[in-house]
Amino acid sequence: MRKLIIDLVERTVATYAVAFLGLLLADKFDLTSFTAIKAAAVASLPAALTVVKGAVSTLVGDPKSAAFLSTPRD
Q: What percent of the chain has pLDDT over 70?
A: 86
* Mean pLDDT, rounded, for 39-51: 86
- Helices then strands, counting H and E runs in the chain, come out as 2, 0
In this predicted model, what pLDDT tens digit does every residue of 6-16 receive, in sequence order?
888 998 999 98
CB 66 within 8 A of CB 57: yes
Single pTM value for the model: 0.72
- What is the separation, in whole angstroms, between the first and last Cα of the chain? 20
* % of the chain at pLDDT higher than 90: 11
Q: Is the pLDDT of residue 74 over 70?
A: no
Give the residue extent of every domain in the chain. 16-55
Query: Considering only 11-15, 51-55, 57-61, which range has the smallest mean pLDDT?
Result: 57-61
